[in-house]
Structure 1
């Protein structure tokens, strides 16, 4: 498993959802850490621009 932006659990870019999926924790807790810790907005935007996007699952025809 590698660190990727989430395709399904995303609010802005999917960074927090991808980190939560990678570590197996709640995405809400990751979002709260990014919101409540001063200075993490810069690493967030760096991760948003450098992390690869997880491929979206194909939609079923049925």
Structure 2
């Protein structure tokens, strides 16, 4: 008899709790930190790298799949 396993975490852009594309919100959910903290760290990284970090955002936006509409509400416990 096999025991049910918890579903693995998936890096996805949520359809709710997004400001632009949902990248920072998705990263925050994946790493279980507040998405606002991820947004602040991303802004600081953009300033410290002279805007170079801003190139990563559209790349992540393109590569991260969007969360399905029937996904469970976050946080799941």
Q: State TM-score, norm by structure 2.
A: 0.68
Aligned pair count reads 58
- What does residue 23 of structure 1 align with? 31
CA deviation digits over 1:29-56, x for unaligned, max 9?
Answer: 1001111113221111100011100012
Q: Which runs of 4+ in 1 moved over 3 A?
A: none
Q: Aligned runs of 1:1-62 on 2, under 5 Å?
A: 1-37=9-45, 38=49, 39-57=52-70
Q: Give me the whole-angstrom Cα distance separating, in 1, the residues matched to 2:34 and 2:42.
A: 13
User: Which stretches in structure 2 are left out of the alignment for 5+ residues?
Assistant: 1-8, 72-77
Q: Which has the higher contact order (CA 8 A, sep 6+)?
A: 1
- Would the aligned equivalents of 1:9 and 1:18 in 2 still touch at CA under 8 Å? no
Structure of higher CA gyration radius: 2
User: Which stretches in structure 1 are left out of the alignment for 5+ residues?
Assistant: none
Q: State TM-score, norm by structure 1.
A: 0.83
